[in-house]
Structures are given as C-alpha cells and as structure tokens.
Amino acid sequence: MADLKLTDVEKAYGEVKVLSNIDLEIKQGELIVFVGPSGCGKSTLLRMIAGLEKITGGELKIDGLVVNDIPPSQRGIAMVFQSYALYPHMTVRDNMSFALKIAKKSKAEIEKAVERAAEILQLGPYLDRLPKALSGGQRQRVAIGRSIVRDPKVYLFDEPLSNLDAALRVATRIEIAKLKESMPNSTMVYVTHDQVEAMTLASRIVVLAGGGIAQVGTPLELYERPNGEFVAQFIGSPAMNLLPGEVVETGAQTRVKLAGGGTSLANIPTTEADMGLKVNVGARPEDMIATDDDDFLYQGEVDLLEALGELTVLYFKPESAGAAPVLAKLNGIHTDLKGRKVKLKADPAKVHLFHNKVSLLYR
C-alpha cells in the first residue's frame, strides 16, 4: 500500500482554472473523503489521481514516485465508479477475475484472489450468478471486489453509493466501513456528496470550494472547529445558524450582543482590540436549547415544525425577505410550540464566532 502527495496541483481547461494550489498529503492506511458543493472539482481531482484527467500544473506522487505522466494502468490504483460497470454476460467470478486474466496471472493466483475478495465482501454464494440476478448493493460489492483482487496501492471511490436507494446506501456504507477495518493498511480516496458517508467513513475529510481546499481535518474537527463560515455551514445538516452580533465583552470568554436583542457567551478568547467587533454568531440547530433566560441567542416565532419522534425540528419565521430561517432541533416532541414565540440559547462551548467569514479561532 502507498501514500500520496499532491504539491501545488492544478487543473485548467484552456484559460479556465477549475482547481489550483492543491497541497495534500495522504498517509498509508487513511480513508480520505473529498466533499464539496456541485462543481467544486472533487471528482476531477479523483480522476487526476487516477490518471483519467491530465494534471496541468504541480506534482502528484504515489509511494514517492512522480506519476504525472504515467498511464492509469501503471499507477497501482483501482477505481470503483458510480455506475457498477460490470460485464452483464459474465458471472461474478468472471467479472472479478477478468483483469487478472488480462494480466496473465496463473489460474491458482486468480482463484486465490477471487476467493479472498469474495470472503471479505461476503460474495461467496453469488460467484456463479450473473449481475442481473443481484441486487444493487451486491453489484456494487462485486465492483469493489474487482478492485480488491488487483491488490492496488490505492483504492479510488467515485460516489459509489449514489445509485442505491436509501436502505441500500446505509447497508453498503456499513460494508465499506467494515471493508476498511479488514484492510487497515489500504489507502483509500473517496468522493461523495453525502455528509453522512463522509462523517462516518473518513479518517480525514477534505472540503473543496472555490477551486481549492477550504479545510482538511478529521470529521469531528471540521464539525466542532470549522475554520470559516463556508465549512461551518457545509458540514452538518441542517446547516449552522449564523446570527449577526457585536463583541461587548472580551477575555477568555467573549460576550456578544445579538442584533435580535439577546446576548450570549462563547468560549473563544478575544482581546480588548476586539471590543465592538462585528461578528456572525454560529450555533448548530442541534445545539440550540429553549430558554426563558435573559441571555439568549435568538428569539422568534415558530413558523413550521417537524415532529420526528425522538426530536422536533423548529423553523422560525425569517426576519426579512430572502433571509435564511433559523432552525433548532429539540429533543422530544414539542408540537405545542407551533405559532409561539420561543427563545433559544446554546452552551458557550458550542458557540462559534466569525469575522469576515473566518472563525476567530483561526485568525
């Protein structure tokens, strides 16, 4: 297995740059997930690693070897695509062994590799079936198995679960997590638009935006310590609430007066120079708590609610046309709150402060 290093990598189509200044080190054994909004270049970056897209600037190393001009077949990678891309006339066994036959491996080697992959992916009972006799999740496992038999240096996954229904996505996601546990030294790079996949599978997440990397970190680092408003609102669903305010007290804790009239503490250190600083106060819907205190982040009328049993999602009337509604997730059932005015607060440890879209923790 191998590590990867991207140094000042860029991709341009003519005069249009879609990716630039990509600096990233992926260690052996990591499962790195690329996420970002549509069009941010996450699949393009994966295809550049695979050799399916030409790198127009910078350097890509796999296991210490510069591979910019090395063809995909010689990079030691295996790719699992969004579509299963199975040969419909071949059995599962033949689909998984085809690449090894082309590489002129011995029959014994091929059988051993296929049996190993089938055991890992629990495909043993299906080896003699055609793809049409399999479920979507089983077909995706065959596609993954086809990669495993090649014993590549790096596994690349391009949104492998997006064609599955919700129940199959959950089941197959769990299988991929188990697969990674069973292959701890395997290096994997995974592209998805699904935050749950990213948060549950990744060793580290790479958030892409604006043609570059917005932030890299473990799932909980990005959730708990986003470096700016974009990452704060992109990671987590529903998105983090952002409320305008002004710093009125500095020190180890910072007190902010909210535009809506409330005040709130945040466990973020500031200095006297920050007094009067205009900030956006961030609080995740799941961290909001209903309160009667004089200190509160937000006060508004509940416009809509979703009672989900274990929790209730409250949607508040926007303050102005075009403004994003404030959301809160309260544990339990609170159907009586519809149409009522509710105050919300959050634990100071859960409150974020942003100035010019950058977290005060990362200034």
Render each residue's pLDDT in the chain as its tens digit; 363 residues.
689 999 999 999 999 999 999 999 999 999 999 999 999 999 999 999 999 999 999 999 999 999 999 999 899 999 888 877 888 999 999 999 998 898 888 999 999 999 988 888 888 999 999 999 998 888 888 988 888 888 889 999 998 888 777 777 888 888 888 888 888 889 999 999 988 899 999 999 999 999 999 999 999 999 999 999 999 999 998 999 999 999 999 999 999 999 888 999 999 999 999 999 999 999 999 999 999 988 899 999 999 999 999 999 999 988 766 677 899 999 999 999 999 999 999 999 999 999 999 999 998
Domains and CATH numbers, the chain: 4-233 (3.40.50.300), 236-362 (2.40.50.140)
Beta bridge partners of 61: 5, 66
pLDDT score, position 171: 81
Asked if 3 and 63 count as a contact pair (C-beta separation under 8 A), the reply is yes
pLDDT score, position 207: 97
> Nearest to residue 192, comparing CAs of 45, 34, 19?
34
Asked if 9 and 59 count as a contact pair (C-beta separation under 8 A), the reply is yes
* 15 Rama class: left (phi>0) / alpha (psi -120 to 50) / beta: alpha
Asked if 191 and 158 count as a contact pair (C-beta separation under 8 A), the reply is yes
CB atoms within 10 A of CB 75: 21
> Nearest to residue 90, comparing CAs of 50, 151, 145?
145
pLDDT score, position 326: 93
pLDDT score, position 164: 77
Q: How far apart are CA 140 and CA 120, in angstroms?
A: 14
pLDDT score, position 288: 95
Q: Tell whether omega for the bond before 238 is within 30 degrees of 0, i.e. cis.
A: yes
Asked if 143 and 86 count as a contact pair (C-beta separation under 8 A), the reply is yes
Q: How far apart are CA 285 and CA 88, in angstroms?
A: 46
Beta bridge partners of 342: 300
pLDDT score, position 267: 96
